[in-house]
Amino acid sequence: MLASQKQDSISLLFEEGGEKKSLTYGELIERIRSFPVEPHGCVGIFADGTLASLLAVFAYASKGIQIALLSPLDDPRVLVRQIQAADVDFLLGPKPLVEGLQPALSKRSPITSGKMLFFTSGTTSSNKAVILSEKSLCAAAYNGSYSLPLSEHDTLYACLPLNHVFGFVCSYLWGFSCGAKVALCRGLKSFFSDFSYYRPTVASLVPQMASFLCVHRLYNPELGLILIGAGDCPSNVLNGLKSAGVRVSFGYGLTETSSGVALSLGDDPYAMSVCTDDRVLLSEDGEILLDCPTCLMEGYYRDEESTKAAIVDGLLHTGDLGKFDEKGLLHIIGRKKDVLVLGDGTKIFLPEYEGRLSSYLGPDKDFAVTLNKKGQVTLCFGKSKLGDNCANAVLSFNESCPRSQRIAETCYFPDPLPRTQTGKIKRWQLLDMLND
């Protein structure tokens, strides 16, 4: 991918020593080739968005060494589980973090080689290591570049984490596959000033970042396109960006499909065209089934049972619900699985979340959790009467949660919450109740 671009064109923009610097595609290839690579079974790379971490990923991949992408912001207990689950025997990243996790290194030999392992987002009970390859990741980047082509004159602002497949493909590989310039974020604190510093024409963002960009009017005049993925985006943000002359494209994809499957290309950001190498089918209950042979994962690492449950007769069962409009465009209408996708792209695994919440609320409470129109976590109570108040319990529960996963709104309904015959909550009917 890198070698096929004009070798004297700029590939990367970054800050070093307080100065803005760049690398051509030819120079980037040389930096990758000269990066010191040690022979190991599986290397865990802390993908902190720096030039060093990006070079490490490409260098180890070029030598056919298995890589597990890790986040330096994750809880150490989560990192220990991920390191052991992926058979990581060597770590690259910030020295204190690497030294502290040495006892967690695996002594097992990897069952695959030359692959990249991306962990699905969400809580630990739903977190799996997905086996992807250079081929599948480059195919996904090609899908994006075919539908939303960039040029060598474009600057793609890369601020999403490398260890998330949406960030890896849509903040980096998308730009590289088009021969564009990729501008490396100078750190989360620099998000305020990066748009005026780099003057990007394109950016890939999660909804929370897009909202922040819009509210604080951080966008530069050259910014013409924002690709939003990993969750829904409030309509006021979309309208604000549109009024500023910024086109918004929504992307739909999964870690299991190496990122994007469908992109919105017209005026309606919710109406998406399926990418050129993929095919979308709908089951009888509306679940999205994907036939994407070039981008599909090889499976979940050391989890054959989950792999067989997810891929049936070559089709990936996504757990998402969708429909096609009269133009044949795909619309995402909800989730079949008990997972809530938050505005920052992380996910709440509802059985675990509601199980913990139940211990705070006490027994015999008819409750369920969903998202409101603003994408905030909302707690709904059924069989409620005047005077019911669980504010103290909710406050205590919120103190135990990361900020993005805290309950923002509580609603009380006089009737029981809608459930199936087996007692499972009808969450999409619950959304209708909230909207009414």
Question: Distance of CA 64 to CAs 61, 114, 192, 257, Å?
Answer: 5, 4, 38, 21
Condensed to tens digits (0 to 9), the pLDDT of residues 347-385 reads 787 877 888 899 898 878 899 998 888 888 999 999 887
Order of strands across the sheet that contains 247-254? 19-24, 10-16, 181-184, 155-158, 202-205, 225-228, 247-254, 259-263, 273-274
Closest of 249, 251, 315, 256 to residue 280, by C-alpha: 315
In order, the DSSP letters of 378-398 are EEEESS--TT---HHHHHHHH
Condensed to tens digits (0 to 9), the pLDDT of residues 150-198 reads 999 999 999 998 998 999 999 999 999 999 999 999 988 898 899 999 9
Q: How do beta strands 90-92 and 42-46 pair? A: parallel
Q: Are 366 and 149 in contact (CB under 8 A)?
A: no
Element (H, E) at 60: helix 51-62
Average the pLDDT over 101-127 and give the result. 81
In order, the DSSP letters of 295-361 are T---EETT-HHHHHHHEETTEEEEEEEEEE-TTS-EEEEEESSSEEE-TTS-EEEHHHHHHHHHHHH
Q: Could you tell me the pLDDT band of residue 337, with boundaries at 50, 70 and 90?
A: low
Between these two residues, 244 and 388, which has the higher pLDDT value?
244
Helix, strand, or coil (residue 196): helix
- pLDDT value at 125 more than 70: no
| Distance in angstroms (rounded) separating the CA atoms of residues 119 and 80 | 13
Q: How do beta strands 299-300 and 129-132 pair? A: antiparallel
pLDDT attached to residue 122: 44
pLDDT attached to residue 201: 97
Q: Which tokens is 381 given?
A: 């109570």
Q: Which tokens is 169 given?
A: 């493909």
Condensed to tens digits (0 to 9), the pLDDT of residues 240-289 reads 888 889 999 999 999 999 988 999 998 888 899 999 889 999 988 789 99
Owner of token pair 């054959």: 304
